[in-house]
């Protein structure tokens, strides 16, 4: 069996992601793997859906995107502190956190896993089904289908 040296944990800060932290914590602690926690931020300036109404309303998209970046970095810090750095979990893990900007979240997650040489991706799912899943899509499902490394998902 291949040794787990590097784990990538992808989060959208949802309940599903929070539940999956238990698995990532356990795997990282049992194997001594370095844990990379990543959040994918889709900027408004790259989203065609939002561009036209925002331009018409006179919104400064770059300023708003900078605020979104700052907020995402803050939320990621809080998420890591709450779910991975609590002293009650034992010895601290080796953790690297990163906000990645991308148009397509599943592609960004896979690219980050390849960049860091991840042995596995761990992520939560929303547990949607039917029409809601068809409309909203599933980042986790796309990561599972396209990832060159194993993906462990946990349904929240």
Ranges of each domain in the chain: 6-155
Q: How many helices (H) and strands (E) does the chain have?
A: 6, 5
Check if the beta carbon of residue 29 is closer than 8 Å to that of residue 1.
no
Pick from 149, 143, 152: nearest CA to 114: 149
Cα–Cα distances in Å, from 49 out to 54, 58, 59, 75, 122? Answer: 10, 16, 14, 24, 30
> Is the confidence at residue 49, as pLDDT, over 70?
no
pTM reported for the whole predicted model:
0.85
Confidence of residue 131 (pLDDT cuts 50, 70, 90): very low
pLDDT of residue 134: 43
Could you tell me which CATH number the domain at 6-155 has? 3.40.50.620
CB neighbours of residue 21 within 10 Å: 22
Query: If you average pLDDT over every residue of the chain, what do you get?
Result: 85
Q: How far apart are the C-alpha atoms of 64 and 147, rounded to whole Å?
A: 32
Q: What pLDDT shows up at residue 125?
A: 87
Q: What are the pLDDT digits (tens) for 20-39?
A: 999 999 999 999 999 999 99
């Amino acid at each position: 069996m291949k040794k787990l040296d590097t784990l990538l944990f992808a989060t959208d800060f949802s309940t599903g992601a929070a539940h999956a932290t238990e698995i990532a914590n356990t795997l990282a602690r049992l194997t001594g793997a370095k844990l990379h926690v990543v959040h994918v931020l889709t900027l408004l300036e790259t989203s065609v859906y939002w561009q036209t109404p925002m331009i018409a309303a006179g919104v400064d998209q770059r300023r708003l995107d900078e605020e979104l970046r700052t907020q995402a970095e803050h939320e990621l810090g809080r998420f890591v502190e709450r779910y991975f750095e609590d002293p009650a979990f034992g010895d601290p893990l080796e953790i690297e956190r990163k906000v990645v900007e991308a148009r397509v979240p599943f592609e960004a997650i896979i690219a980050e896993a390849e960049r860091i040489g991840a042995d596995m991706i761990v992520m939560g799912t929303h547990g949607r089904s039917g029409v809601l899943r068809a409309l909203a899509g599933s980042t986790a499902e796309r990561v599972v289908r396209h990832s060159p490394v194993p993906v462990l998902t946990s349904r929240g």
